[in-house]
Amino acid sequence: MNRGLNLIKTLITITISLVIGIITIVLTSSEPLTAIDAFFRGPFSNSYFFGNMLASSIPLILTGLAASVAFSASNFNLGLEGQVYFSALVGTYLAVNLSSLPAFLLIIIVLAVSSLAGGLLAALSGYLKAKWNVNELISSLLVSYTIIYVTDFFVEGPFKDPMAGFSASPYFSNDLMLSKILPPSQLHTGIFIAVGIVIFMYFVCKKSNLGFEIYITGRNKHFSKYAGISIGKIMVISMMISGILAGLAGMIDVFGIHGRVIRGFSAGYGWNGIAVALIARSNPILVIPAALFFAFLESGANVGSLLSDITPEVARIIQSVVFYLVTAEGLLAFIKSRKKVKTDD
């Protein structure tokens, strides 16, 4: 019953935001019908657009999952964006400098080390919270901003490709790149990795001891501690997993599309991941449709701007409306549930 209700609420949220998107297009476009048509049907009109849409959903699936895991433990990892960049930097550096290793082995090593880099970054905030009760929301955000500038420093200076006309590292070997599906679109086999990780994380969250500990701690940490769960450990581990997933989002994007780390390559993957997790209500499986929806908005606006006169920012407007509605609704549900507890007979 509850689940059905949530689905209806989510559908209403999405409908309202799409209607607002349509209104924006009508107001700003001189040929609204063409623009709307391009926006909604564009991403499905040919395999190139469709492939690109799926490609842009890959990092969102992973950052959405990252945010979900942290939310489940009642931790707010607002440092996803920084973890995405940091992992991409570390991974690219390894991929460039260890090129003598066999490709398959190197990919594994790069993914492992780079995602761990993101994980440690997030785990730091978890540790600070467990140890000194430092608000993880703020610490992860601040660390993230700093680390983005650090990454920028490297790709502008010591780790800059002198041939590139903009801030980017050197390319690593083309052999390391994930194979493309549906060329010439950007879609790559990373999508299978992402879906595999989602399924794995679903089982971890729902069926493992760790998942149970994360869930119980997220619901009520006093109870969790009393029951014998080490809540400090859970804070660190849940943040770490979140950071690892964000790191994978960054590095898989680099392996699939860019072949190097570029300043600003993450089109807000971290931030949109938070919205994706909110729409999915932190359910690992629902992260996939939520990420696809965000990717669709992005692609629709891009196609629309190619084929008519709207700007890609239309996607931002719709995304932000979704974001507002989902957070407002989440807040309402939270207040209601608090009231319920208080007025219990």
Partner 1 sequence: MEEYILQMKNIHKIYESNNVAALKGANLLVKKSRIHALVGENGAGKTTMMKILCGIEPKNDGEIVLDGKKLSITDPRQGFKHGLGMVHQHFRLIEDFTIAENIALGIEKTKAGFIDQETVEEKICRLSNESGLIVTPEMKVKNLSIGEKQKVEILRVLYRGAKIIILDEPTSVLTEQETEELFSTIRTLKNQGKTIIFISHKLGEVKEISDDITILRNGITVESGNIRSYTKERISYLMVGEEINIYRKTNFNDKKEKPETLLEVKSLYVNDQENAERVSDANITVGKGEIVGIAGVAGNGQLYLTESLMGLVKPRKGKIILCNEEITHLTVRQRREAGLSYIPEDRMKVGVSTSSSVLENLIATRYYKKDFSNKGWLNYGNTLSFVKSLVEKSRIKTPSLNIKVGMLSGGNIQKVIISREFSSDPQLLIVCEPTWGLDVRSIEFVYSSLIKMKEKNKGILLISGNLDEILNLSDRILVMYGGKIVASLENSSKLTRAEIGEYMMGLRSNEKKVCKYE
Nearer to partner 1, 45 or 220 (CB): 220
DSSP conformation letters of 106-143 = HHHHHHHHHHHHHHHHHHHHHHHHHHH---HHHHHHHH
- Comparing CA positions, the residue from 91, 130, 148 lying closest to residue 270 is 148
| Binding to partner 1, residues 268-327 (CB under 8 A) | none
Is position 345 an interface residue for partner 1 (rule: CB under 8 A)?
Answer: yes
Q: Tell me if 215 contacts partner 1 by CB under 8 A.
A: yes
The smaller minimum CB distance to partner 1, of residues 30 and 222, is found at: 222
* Residue 217 to residues 6, 28, 53, 55, 336, Cα–Cα distance (Å): 23, 48, 36, 35, 21
Based on the shown chain and the rule CB under 8 A, indicate whether residue 174 belongs to the binding site for partner 1: no
Is 9 a residue that touches partner 1 (CB under 8 A)? no
Tell me which amino acid residue 244 is: I
Interacting residue with partner 1 among 103, 112, 164, 210 (CB under 8 A): 210
CA angle at 80 for the pair 283 and 97, rounded to the nearest 5° = 120
> Shortest Cβ distance from residue 220 to partner 1 (Å)?
4
Q: Which is nearer to partner 1, 268 or 284 (CB)?
A: 284
Whether the CB-CB separation of 81 and 151 falls below 8 Å is answered with: no
Q: What are phi and psi of 31, to 5 degrees?
A: -130, 70
Residues 147, 229, 276, 325: which binds partner 1 (CB under 8 A)? 229
User: Is residue 225 at the binding interface for partner 1, with CB under 8 A as the rule?
Assistant: yes
- What DSSP character marks residue 309? S
212: tokens are 């149970």
Distances (CA, A) of 160 to 30, 154, 229: 43, 7, 46
Tell me which of 105, 227, 267, 328 binds partner 1, using CB under 8 A.
227
Is 3 near partner 1 (CB under 8 A)? no
Q: Check binding of 135 to partner 1 (CB under 8 A).
A: no
Residues in touch with partner 1 (CB under 8 A): 207-210, 212, 215-216, 219-220, 222-230, 337, 340-345
